[in-house]
A and B are shown apart, each in its own frame.
Chain A
Amino acid sequence: MSADAGSVTKAVPAVKAEQSLGSRLAQWVSGGAVRVFLIVVGLFWLVPTVGLLLASLRSPEDMAADGWWHVFTEPSQLTFGAYETLLENDDITGSLLNTAYITVPATVLVVVIGSLAGYAFAWMEFPGRDWWFLAVVGLLVVPVQVALIPIAELFGALGIFGSLTGVILFHVGFGLPFAVFLLRNFFAEIPKELLEAARLDGAGELRLFVRVVMPLAGPAIAALGIFQFLWVWNDMLVALIFTDSGSQPITVALQTQVRQFGNNIDVLAPGAFISMVVPLVVFFAFQRQFVSGVMAGAVK
């Protein structure tokens, strides 16, 4: 309430002076109530993650005995033991590498292919252009589940079922509608004069695209790249179907441990945190771009 009260006083200076002691008291109390409410909610949102973090920093024996909150009374329980064990496990480190091998190409390809198509939809002339674009937009909401069985058979026939190539292709396919949508809309905002001038200077389309459009597209590409990166990094379902034990990413490797949840907390808790480190770093480093990606992707 305080912020709004401030703007009210600016607009109508008389109001504050006229407020009775009672109404100011009421405002102070409700402001306090808002703070308490938000703090409680904030705790609700933090505690689950903090709980898993502390659980990952205790020994399996301690975890079997009681809850993670006991580290507050016995801080000596904290240990990196579970992380050390986990990082010596070749399955886990291998699957972490696989996650990177899948995520980086799938992100780069979506950005490159999406930019090319987005540029064509924004600035080139060809028959039925807007209809093609609307068709792509229509594909935004197609659930990935629709493609699982057909693509499994297709990849089987092509011999790429279970390979990194297959998963990457799948993620590129389902990342493209959003990429084309976002980039086309961004490119369409580029001032026409800029492109005209370059064209008059004799620049071809490719040159125009590389030298003029792409350098301007930083914010859109950042938003798209971060979105796609997180989406692929965090994916479990697609990888669950299209990878095998040699190509599985960290999400699938951890998923196989969940069935024995009670006994495996010393693998699952640190594993989940290791898998979360990269998305969280990306999230905190690129909050603004992430938010603009989320805004643009509100239809996905």
Chain B
Amino acid sequence: MASDTTAGAPTAAPAAPRSRKSVTGTRRTVAALFLLPALVLLGALVVYPIGYSVVRSFYDQSGDSFAGIDNYRALFTDDGIRTALKNNVIWVVFAPTIATALGLVFAVLTERVRWGTAFKLVVFMPMAISMLAAGIIFRLVYDQDPDKGVANAVWVGVHDTFAQSSAFPKAHPGRESPLEPAGGGAFVTKGTVSAGDTVTLPLVGVAPDAMPDDAAPAAAPKPEGDRITGSTWQDFTRGKGVGALNQVDASELGYAGMRIEAVKDGAVVETATAASDGTFSFSSKADGAHLRLPASNFKEPYNGLDWLGPSLVTPAIIGSYIWMWAGFAMVLIAAGLAGMPRELLEAARVDGANEWQVFRRVTVPLLAPVLAVVTVTLMINVLKVFDLVFIIAPGSSQDDANVLALELYRKGFASDQPGIASAIAVFLLLLVIPVMWFNVRRLRREVRR
């Protein structure tokens, strides 16, 4: 069809050679020689496999007999493939759009700081490294232990800033204790207290280095008129044992900050917090109440999120993908921005538009073609994502993180089901065909110049 174009005229023997035709005559043989290596390799390594996969996808796993559409039916019945499909949808919807949106924001904002280039370099750098290296990097970032994985270290830090962490995990009553479990992790006195009483609430089991920093040697409670006074402390010293059971010894530490509730008929009438020596006091209102140490004192410390567990593994890996590819979006969009007519932005500003309006009404619409190209490119790229999932998802949650490219590898090379693997391959190919068509159309116009 190109022969009907004005330029190029690639007909067999053009009567009036134009533009690129020159004086040397051996065109066709030479052209064939120039093209041969590329066409042979492309034919054998790219085109032939497409045909082979299509045919193979209609044969059974051993390749001996025709299987109709059984392999394609497996795409929708096989649990592994269905999870992979579902995850691929999540990937295709979120990863390209978030990466493009971030790229846009970064590209626009870096124009406003002098060190924009340095910033771009930092964000773009991950594109140069392998997905394997990025996978290892993020495997460490997402380590469950907040003492090792930086994601959980930060998350726990933020969490503990807003939610009070408990100071006494694992504390529990010792022998012959006046306390008994009250359900839900709380402890309550076996008897009631009356005005003027002194109460001791000894516990054991807090690791010495987990004791609050301000814990002071515990003091025995002193009677104080009709107030109810008490002390709560760790009735144990490392190396010395319990000492006098349920009595304060000199070396024992108070439970600084322990919260105590006075409970009457199931309702809290008063609360108190232990001082650094473990002492506390209630007014006579608490007369006849049980004293309760609520469960919030004893919660296990917050351990962060299970990033690589079944429910978060896909978003976590998408996060690492965005880390790798937002730079790509940013660089392409920045190039688009650089080519944008500045007068338009300035005109909008002079007309009184604020920065947000300029961004929303002028910049984004002008960049729309670039944004579309970036998003589509990332979508194709996302369909093929393999290494990141393969490396980051631990064995235990790899099924939950599954994507088509990974499932193809597993079916084709781990579980020896080349028929189904070929069907997945053809399916992936079908998904990129619209883009293939778009590319060819766009280029056909250019080629015809």
Q: CB within 8 Å of B: which residues of A?
A: 1-4, 7-8, 11-12, 15, 30-31, 34-35, 37-38, 41-42, 44-49, 51-52, 55, 63, 66-69, 113-114, 116-117, 119-134, 136-154, 169-170, 172-174, 176-177, 180, 185, 192, 195-196, 199-200, 204-206, 209, 230, 233-237, 240-241, 251, 254-255, 258-259, 261, 265, 268-269, 271-273, 275-276, 279-280, 282-283, 287, 290-291, 294-295, 298-300
Contacts and interface: CB of A to CB of B under 8 A. Distances in A.
B298 interface: no
A126 to B, nearest CB: 4
B110 A38 contact: yes
Contacts, number: 340
Contact of B147 (A66, A136, A153): A66
A117 B39 contact: yes
B207 to A, nearest CB: 17
Contacts of B413: 148, 152, 241
B140 A174 contact: no
Contacts of B408: 145, 148
A150 B52 contact: yes
A148 B428 CA distance: 13
B377 A8 contact: no
A144 B150 contact: no
B53 A120 contact: no
B162 interface: no
B52 A272 contact: no
Given A34-B112, A280-B128, A52 B38 contact: no
B10 A272 contact: no
A189 B418 CA distance: 45
B439 A124 contact: no
Contacts of A122: 20
Given A125-B14, A151-B49, 6 more contacts: A126-B31, A126-B32, A127-B10, A136-B38, A142-B429, A209-B34
Contacts of A38: 106, 109-110, 113, 119
Contact of A125 (B31, B121, B130, B409): B31
**Chain A contact residues, majority secondary structure:** helix
A48 B246 CA distance: 50
Nearest to A203: B24
A56 B285 CA distance: 61
B112 A12 contact: no
B331 A294 contact: yes
B315 interface: no
A144 B49 CA distance: 10
A42 B122 contact: yes
Closest 10 CB pairs of A and B: A173-B45, A234-B130, A283-B128, A117-B38, A130-B2, A147-B49, A150-B49, A150-B52, A120-B34, A129-B10
Question: Most chain-A Cβ atoms within 10 A of its Cβ — which of B11, B22, B38?
Answer: B38
A235 to B, nearest CB: 7
Given A116-B34, A173-B46, A291-B331, A255 B109 contact: no
A298 B377 contact: yes
Contacts of B1: 131
Contacts of A282: 128
A171 B332 CA distance: 26
Given A41-B123, A48-B150, A124-B30, A12 B11 contact: no
- Determine the interface band of chain B, counting residues with CB < 8 A from chain A: 35 or more
Interface of B: 1-2, 5, 8, 10-12, 14, 17, 19-24, 26-28, 30-32, 34-35, 37-39, 41-42, 44-50, 52-53, 56, 106, 109-114, 119, 121-123, 125-133, 135-141, 147-150, 153, 323, 328, 331-332, 335, 342-343, 345-346, 349-350, 355, 373-374, 377, 380, 383-384, 386-387, 390-391, 394-395, 405, 408-409, 412-413, 418, 421-422, 424-426, 428-429, 432, 435-437, 439-440, 443-444, 446-448
B153 A275 contact: no
B387 A237 contact: yes
A173 B141 CA distance: 36
Contacts of A123: 20
Question: Most chain-A Cβ atoms within 10 A of its Cβ — which of B2, B8, B128, B386?
Answer: B128
A134 B444 contact: yes
B27 A173 contact: no
Nearest to A196: B22
Given A42-B119, A142-B429, A291-B331, A113 B129 contact: no
B10 to A, nearest CB: 4
Given A272-B137, A279-B128, A283-B128, A169 B41 contact: yes
B425 to A, nearest CB: 4
Question: Most chain-A Cβ atoms within 10 A of its Cβ — which of B24, B380, B408?
Answer: B24
Contacts of A251: 130, 132
A173 B332 contact: no
Contacts of B377: 298-300
A105 B378 CA distance: 28
